Structure 1
Amino acid sequence: MDLREFLLARIAEDEARARTAAEDGTTCTGGWPPQRLLVECETRRELLRLDLDQAVCEDADRGCGHSGTDIEQGRCERQSADDRPLLRALALPWSTHPQHRDAWLP
């Protein structure tokens, strides 16, 4: 599991919790309304998309020309999700998660 996959899994977990809270008419952890957490999940997904777009541009500047799919699937040895500063920052809230790696800390 790379950092991008780790983040997508955590976002999906948060989204599922928020949807359950919305259906139950309760609040999420921290007293947040479910809609706020759902918006946060979509925001994090958008940041992941923007970071991938940036990785594609950086790859093109180096002359590799890999697609976003190639980069996501690890086909470019110059691009690793584990080395992306934005992704490392996004992972901080889950730094105590059992699947989080210390190497992902900023």
Structure 2
Amino acid sequence: MDIVDFLSARIGEDEAAARALLGDRSLSKSGVWYEQRLLLECEAKRHLIRIVESARQSALAAMVSGSGQDAGWIPQSLEWMEQSLAALALPYYDHPDFDQAWFRT
């Protein structure tokens, strides 16, 4: 499982839990606010993953095609993208599918 698949699955789980709790009529106003906030955070994380993945694919394509005059930026950019995805995965460190290799300091 790669980090994007891992994150997509965890975000889906978070979203399902928030939706289930929002269906609970005994939830307080603060609880409703929190669960709605969690749903928005799930969408924000998905959006960020799409941005990073698009940039990563573009960088890999440029590296493979050799079309960039100065491709020296690509490895460093790829490292930043990997670190960004790892930061998103960190809250799930205790999940059995979490790979410690994703998070390097």
TM-score by length of 1: 0.72
- Corresponding position of 2:17: 17
Q: Which amino acid aligns with 1:103?
A: A
- Aligned letter for 2:50? R
SS at 2:23 equivalent: helix
Unaligned 5+ runs, structure 1: 66-79
Question: Could you tell me which amino acid in structure 2 is paired with residue 45 of structure 1?
Answer: R
Following superposition of structure 1 onto structure 2, how do residues 10-89 of structure 1 map, counting pairs within 5 Å?
10-25=10-25, 26=27, 33-64=34-65, 84-89=82-87
Distance change >3 Å, CA 53–CA 31, structure 1 → 2: same
TM-score where L is the length of structure 2: 0.73
1:73 is aligned to: none
Larger-gyration structure (1/2): 2
Measure how far apart 1:31 and its partner are: 8.5
Distance in 1, Cα, partners of 2:9 & 2:54: 20
The answer to which structure has the higher helix fraction is: 2
In structure 1, distance between residues paired with 2:61 and 2:102 = 25
Give the total of aligned pairs: 88
Aligned residues: CA RMSD: 2.5
Counterpart residue identity of residue 11, structure 1? I
Q: Percent identity?
A: 43
Q: Which has the higher contact order (CA 8 A, sep 6+)?
A: 2
Q: 3-state SS of the aligned residue for 1:20? A: helix
